[in-house]
Structure 1
């Protein structure tokens, strides 16, 4: 799945005019857990991790505040060199509340996270790659994201979904014993699958595999 903005920017975040004109009413009970461990706004960013397939964010233009947090929830982020990214909430007297801290701590060093949270600094695509906010850089992020999505889609869907489950468990802090057991269980299932046999047969017959999903 490819996540992108429909325009010059990925997402500029919250509508400040709407917020100033009473938009805070919809934010009156953020502590309510309406989606498992999260509220609605946190779920919007976290849901990409819950999807069984990889999610690739193609970031051009600006990704600010809530828009940046949406991108942080993706499995992979491809940015344009001149993209502008920021956890911007501090500039409006707020903090990131769309699972920003949960997602940031999985990507960058803790001192880098604090710098981004405290300063609200805007970084370029190049800087984002250096900091760990971005996975790859491309002149045309959307084209690069679509090409990567096609490459991933050419593999066994069973294996891709298993790999994402393992990646999620690892980033969520699963213990080594639990992760080792999860690897073994996933592999056991894949070894007995039709798609594994199809991959081997296609290789032997020098043709593209035809997987079942």
Structure 2
């Protein structure tokens, strides 16, 4: 039972020993040609409106030191959002439900922040490890706590996204698996519940993409 349940997250499905499931990550490339149309359509205006709002918010969080780096976080938001939504469609592999993908995004991003901060703003990084007003006797403990909390940041970013994507998919799979054994008058109730869960998962896909982008922006603003 558990093997069948978690098989929806199995990335090992292949054809001629080629892991074609991961190709679903690049479906977003199909949307790029829309931005090159001579006459923009409604999809272009809608997506451009969202990206402009995000850029203004990221620039506000990062202050005057953004220097165009907000586009990195907009790209992360777009990539995460599209891949989260792909998993809601039948027969499309949910790549963001694996630490392989989410950690490969958060870890290099965090390392970049750390290298930039310790090389260019060393004094600021040391000051940031001890909050203002901390008693002298507590300073060693605060340095230890801040160091640990800083080290686990890429892991928390990756696990947060992975756990949220797995939880909803598992719940929908569990409920749908009980369908054949239910009486006919319970099937309609099950369908309504599944539709509500699908709406909830759509909201989770948007919220988690936004949270990942916002937290990455806040982490980058701390090293400036």
TM-score (norm. length: structure 1): 0.27
More helix, by proportion: 2
TM-score (norm. length: structure 2): 0.26
The structure with more radius of gyration: 2
